[in-house]
């Protein structure tokens, strides 16, 4: 019988999981749910995981190091109920080639929905219209342009889990979809439902630019003073990915020209300084890195974890299994 250990702290046991999903896990074997608030008593953690064949982790779970691994000689896999696996894997974990899967696809659905919400709201001018109306203006006195989400071009940067779901959502609208991803082929991008273009072409042709790239060395400052000026006047720039992808100082200088509107959910560093100019510019909507951290939406993660355990035990390919040989390319 499988021994499934849910090694998740009190906060995320409540926010991500719940009895409904533990019951589903019990159909696969014995389930032990960690019962302390945190992992400060590491001796207790080591005793708790003994004999586990599957470990379920999430945000703030402890690193799966040699001590934990030595307690679980029959460990088949770690099912990570969060995005990046980097905080929980150790050198020993990599050396032992333990299988691991993340929940980026489940989180990504919520991120893509947030990005779409930003896009529609910004195109229709809701943010500016609300501000102006509250300031006493009405209809004929308001100069904000309202653009329907129709017959426009949307540029998606990166065709990972979030970018793919964004394209899926966009296909419900009458819009042209461009996608920049240096790894995917023209055929792969067409299969997703978009047109493959280079970055500069995407920036110069898109009415909406939405960033979904991972935070890796190759994407650091991908958008900067050399290409941000290519963004069309009146366009919308959305970043729900990572703050390091856009050079913030260069972005601020470009936004000061008041040429385009930006919806920024991520900054570098986080939180931004209280005097950060992104907090003050009228053509910016700034949110506190919440695009993928909804309340009920996190239950998608719990469902995904259960589905990955099911695939693992059936001998099927896990949907989001991580190739540890490509760790340097992962966010």
The least confident of 118-127, 143-152, 302-311 is: 143-152
pLDDT of residue 330: 59
- Residue 5: pLDDT band with limits 50, 70, 90: very high
Longest dimension (CA), the chain: 72
- DSSP category for residue 293: -
The string of DSSP codes covering 42-77 is: HHHHHHHHTT-SEEEEETTPPPB-HHHHHT-TT--E
- Note the helical H segments in 172-242: 186-192, 199-205
Quick one: average pLDDT of 125-134?
Answer: 93
**Region class of 213: left (phi > 0), else alpha (psi between -120 and 50), else beta:** beta
Q: CB of 166 within 8 A of CB of 121?
A: no
pLDDT in tens, 93-116: 999 989 999 999 999 999 999 999
Kindly tell me the sign of the dihedral angle through the C-alpha atoms of 194, 195, 196, 197.
Answer: negative
The share of the chain scoring above pLDDT 90, in percent, equals 89
15-73 tens-digit pLDDT: 999 999 999 999 999 999 999 999 999 999 999 999 999 999 999 999 999 999 999 99
What pLDDT sits at residue 331? Answer: 55
* DSSP character at residue 274: T
Interacting residues of 149 by C-beta distance below 8 A, sequence separation 6+: 119, 120, 123, 124, 173, 175
Domains of the chain listed by start with CATH number: 2-102+295-329 (3.40.50.720), 108-286 (3.40.50.720)
**Per-residue tokens: 80:** 């990570």
Rounded to whole angstroms, the Cα distance separating 27 from 5 reads 14
**pLDDT-based confidence at residue 326 (cuts at 50, 70, 90):** low
What span, in angstroms and rounded, lies between the C-alpha atoms of 11 and 6? 13
328 or 239, greater pLDDT: 239
Average per-residue pLDDT for the chain? 95
Cα-based torsion angle of the residue sequence 255, 257, 259, 260 in order, rounded to the nearest 10 degrees: 10
What is the predicted pLDDT for the residue at 138? 92
Query: Peptide bond before 269: cis, by omega within 30 degrees of 0?
Result: yes
H or E stretch including 126?
helix 126-134
pLDDT digits (tens, 9 = 90+) for 255-302: 999 999 999 999 999 999 999 999 999 999 999 999 987 678 888 999
Among residues 319, 288, 301, which one has the least CA distance to residue 114? 288
Distances (CA, A) of 7 to 34, 58, 101, 172: 5, 8, 15, 39
């Amino acid at each position: 019988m499988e021994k499934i250990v849910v090694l998740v702290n009190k906060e995320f046991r409540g926010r991500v999981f719940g009895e409904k999903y533990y019951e589903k896990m019990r159909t696969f074997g014995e389930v032990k749910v960690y019962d302390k608030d945190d992992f400060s008593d590491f001796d207790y953690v080591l005793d708790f995981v003994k004999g586990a064949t599957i470990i379920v982790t999430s945000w703030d779970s402890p690193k799966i190091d040699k001590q934990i691994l030595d307690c679980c000689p029959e460990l088949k896999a770690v099912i990570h109920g969060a995005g990046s696996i980097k905080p929980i894997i150790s050198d020993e974990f990599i050396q032992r080639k333990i299988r691991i899967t993340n929940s980026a696809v489940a989180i990504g659905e919520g991120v893509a929905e947030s990005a779409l919400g930003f896009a529609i709201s910004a195109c229709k001018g809701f943010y500016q219209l609300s501000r102006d109306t509250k300031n006493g203006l009405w209809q004929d006195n308001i100069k904000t342009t309202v653009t329907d989400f129709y017959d426009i071009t949307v540029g998606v940067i990166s065709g990972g889990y979030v970018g793919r779901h964004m394209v899926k959502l966009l296909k419900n609208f009458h819009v042209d979809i461009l996608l920049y991803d240096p790894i995917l082929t023209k055929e792969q991008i067409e299969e997703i439902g978009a047109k493959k273009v280079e970055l500069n072409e995407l920036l110069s042709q898109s009415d909406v630019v939405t960033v979904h790239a991972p935070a890796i060395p190759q994407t650091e400052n991908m958008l900067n003073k050399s290409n941000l000026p290519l963004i069309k006047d009146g366009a919308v720039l959305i970043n729900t990915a990572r703050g390091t992808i856009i050079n913030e100082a260069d972005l601020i200088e470009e936004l000061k020209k008041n040429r385009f509107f930006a919806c920024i959910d991520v900054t570098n560093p986080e939180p931004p300084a209280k005097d950060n100019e992104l907090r003050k510019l009228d053509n910016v909507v700034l949110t506190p890195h919440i695009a993928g951290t909804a309340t009920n939406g996190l239950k998608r993660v719990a469902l995904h974890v259960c589905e990955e355990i099911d695939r693992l035990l059936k001998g099927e390919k896990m949907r989001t299994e991580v190739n540890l040989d490509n760790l340097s390319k992962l966010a």
